[in-house]
Structure 1
Amino acid sequence: MKRLLFSGLLGACVLLGFTGCGPQENGMTHEAIYASLDDKMKAALERSNDPKEIDKEFKKRLAATKKAVDKMITVEGDTITVTHKLGKTVMPKNPQRIVVVRAEDPMIALDIPFIAGNYNEKSYLYKELSERNIQNISINDETKTINYEQIQSLHPDLIIMRDSYGKAAFNALSKIAPTVAFNVNKEETALLGIATALGMPEKGEARLKEYYANAKKTRIALANHMNGETMAFLRILNKEYRLYPYMKSDMNIFMSELLNIKPPDMVLETDLNPTNNAISLERLPDLDAGYLVVSAGYGATSANNQNIADQKLDNLEKDALWKTLPAVKEGHVLRVDSTLWMAHGIIAKEKAMQDLYNAWGK
């Protein structure tokens, strides 16, 4: 029997004879979980994969993104001002020597030239950045320390930074050159914001439409292949297992918002308590998902020992409890690259969507 996520009236899955509607061990009943969800999540769970409905959905998404960017950016004559989390920046006209601090993905996606950024051989953008001869800026990720002297020596006329580096970094960089900050965790807003700030909003809109076309193709293919089954995203770390929520994590929210992938009840439980995604090994048998995406380890810039997480997943795959999972029994487990899936930017998300398409969309 298919383990489908009920997306209508409470109790419908019981009436239809689907499994997974009763109490979960150490968890909430299906009815209690659904009753606790907010209206936004309930509406999300009921979306259609009809191509025309997807087009309407993405049109509204683009309009909302443009509205968010309009709140950030004002254009008066030929003067463009960006109001962001860390301050206000008057954009220089026609910058030629742009330095990027952890916003490389949208710059590559927009095909905008820049002279320096930060990356290493584990980065999913390593090939693109090295082929463009982008100079590598030194950043200490443990202390979030940027090599300001190195950036200064490059004589930039604009610096585009990730806003998570904070006010002190923004102030220090602003002494070198005009600096503008974006929240790259919000991939679509960051991309369109950067394009608009540089005076090319049409280029940003065109790239977002391409992004949505990729998402639509993947979404329809997965819907046709998965046939209503649910999917979960599990991450293995050195000291814990994490089950990521349906709509409360910016790392995998593209799976719900763009691809309309339905979650099992246990995932929805994490949405009700998103501050704690850790689960015990003993509770793994409750993970009643038809498909499972598994990541072991950390991002490209993490100092954590990746080998420990990899070995932990290798050991988990031999465990008897693991072999009881529906997704494991059906051979529906996709092991993905954590350095890619933890990254932010539309290129990262397109590559993650391609992983899903290659596994279950063809």
Structure 2
Amino acid sequence: MKRTIFIILALLSATLIGCQSEEGGTYAQDPDNQKESKVVEHALGKTEVPVNPERVVVIGLEDMMLSLEIPMLAATGVEGQYLYDLLKEEDIHIIGTVGAEYNFEAILDQEPDIIVASESPAGRENVYERLTQIAPTITYDREDWRESIKAIGSVFGKGEKADQVIQTLDEKLEKAKKKVTDSIGEDQTVAFIRPTNKDVQVFFPGYSYTSVLYDELGFTTGALVSELQENEEEGAWGSVVSLEKMPELTADYLFVTVGSSLATIEDNEQASLALEEAKKLPVWQGIPAVQQERVYVVSPRHWMLNGPIAESRKIDDVVEALTTN
């Protein structure tokens, strides 16, 4: 009798203790529905999530999830955004969003098993807490997409796929760098700006959205950008300057965007019209790159976000701009 009781207790103990996961989390059995779970460490903490979730809702990390070919029940998006058509093709329900506002009711309606969200803006006050009230939520840094895609891949059993995505993009970068250098030579300077009808945002090297130009394709900045960066705090995304400073922007090539990644089509159209008006100003005409016809307007839809799909499209933009005669 004692031997029988000992065996039963041992079996119960093994069930409760579970086993160690590949990610360092602990597997456990839910006694009610027998679903396995594991604890995952992420940008905003540690969360117990189902091992094989069937109803995955994604907020802001759609680029990485699509690249990893992880099935999604629903994701956020707005018409005109660079992933919108891809999400529709995959028959993924799109939770409409403009900017960084979350539609909590629409997320709740999906009855998710798990929510995979961008650390920002999930890290804002009460946002993450509200998401966790709907379903277990794990968050990752969209800007540091290389590390994040590896972490997400590990959670969903797509580690090898994550490595493959990174390798494919790195190979594309090397080919693009050679092609551009063969076309325009070395030691060329570029600048990336977002003008309005009142002022201009000048982005710095190292800023995640535009770092592909500098850190990865190897361009340097002109004197004005370097001067502005010296006067800002370390790690600043860039600087806002008056339109009157534009003739001092002496970069050999100028990349320009207007609007934003998650704005409505109408808002981005208005921003484009404002750019056309800015182009008529004498200060715009005084920009050296404008005089040399080396100005290239690119879409904010993928330039103002991060992820392997966005980065790939940025590379395509640069290659097309600087290698087309």
Q: Does 1:290 align with 2:252?
A: yes
Q: Does 1:125 align with 2:83?
A: yes
SS of structure 2 residue aligned to 1:137: strand
Q: Which runs of 5+ in 2 are unaligned?
A: 1-22, 29-36
Q: Residue 311 of structure 1 aligns with which residue?
A: 273
SS of structure 2 residue aligned to 1:318: coil
The answer (yes or no) to whether the contact 1:80–1:197 under 8 Å persists in 2 is: no
Q: Residue 188 of structure 1 aligns with which residue?
A: 146
Shift of 1:107: 0.6
> Which deviates more from structure 2 when the two are superposed, residues 212-221 or residues 125-134?
212-221
Q: Residue 338 of structure 1 aligns with which residue?
A: 300
Q: Residue 240 of structure 1 aligns with which residue?
A: 199
- 1:126-145 alignment to 2 at 5 Å? 126-139=84-97, 141=99, 144-145=101-102
SS of structure 1 residue aligned to 2:80: coil
RMSD: 2.3
What is the identity, as a one-letter code, of the residue corresponding to 1:271? Answer: Q
Q: How far apart are the structure 2 equivalents of 1:80 and 1:206?
A: 25
Q: Residue 174 of structure 1 aligns with which residue?
A: 132
Superposed CA deviations along residues 227-248 of structure 1, whole A, max 9, x for unmatched, are 122110011135421111122x
- 1:189-338 alignment to 2 at 5 Å? 189-227=147-185, 228-247=187-206, 249-272=207-230, 273=232, 274=236, 277-301=239-263, 305-338=267-300
Superposed CA deviations along residues 172-210 of structure 1, whole A, max 9, x for unmatched, are 222332211111121212211111121221111111101
Q: Identity of counterpart residues, as a percentage?
A: 28
**TM-score under structure 2 length normalisation:** 0.81
Q: Residue 119 of structure 2 aligns with which residue?
A: 163
Q: Residue 74 of structure 1 aligns with which residue?
A: 24
Structure 1 pair 209–231 and aligned structure 2 pair: CA distance change class (3 A): same
What is the identity, as a one-letter code, of the residue corresponding to 2:106? Answer: Q
What is the identity, as a one-letter code, of the residue corresponding to 2:54? Answer: Q
SS of structure 2 residue aligned to 1:310: helix
Query: Number of residues paired by the alignment?
Result: 287
> Which deviates more from structure 2 when the two are superposed, residues 296-305 or residues 268-277?
296-305
What is the identity, as a one-letter code, of the residue corresponding to 1:146? Answer: N
> Which deviates more from structure 2 when the two are superposed, residues 234-243 or residues 113-122?
234-243
Structure 1 pair 268–107 and aligned structure 2 pair: CA distance change class (3 A): same
Larger Rg: 1 or 2? 2
Superposed CA deviations along residues 273-294 of structure 1, whole A, max 9, x for unmatched, are 1366112222211111111101
What is the identity, as a one-letter code, of the residue corresponding to 1:241? Answer: V
**TM-score under structure 1 length normalisation:** 0.73
Q: How far apart are the structure 2 equivalents of 1:275 and 1:201?
A: 31
Q: Which runs of 5+ in 1 are unaligned?
A: 1-72
Superposed CA deviations along residues 130-180 of structure 1, whole A, max 9, x for unmatched, are 1111112244647x2422x33233222211011112262222222332211
Structure 1 pair 87–278 and aligned structure 2 pair: CA distance change class (3 A): same
What is the identity, as a one-letter code, of the residue corresponding to 1:126? Answer: Y
Structure 1 pair 220–275 and aligned structure 2 pair: CA distance change class (3 A): closer
Superposed CA deviations along residues 301-333 of structure 1, whole A, max 9, x for unmatched, are 369943443233212222233223222222211
The answer (yes or no) to whether the contact 2:204–2:237 under 8 Å persists in 1 is: no
Q: How far apart are the structure 2 equivalents of 1:352 and 1:160?
A: 25
Q: How far apart are the structure 2 equivalents of 1:359 and 1:349?
A: 15
The answer (yes or no) to whether the contact 1:162–1:182 under 8 Å persists in 2 is: yes
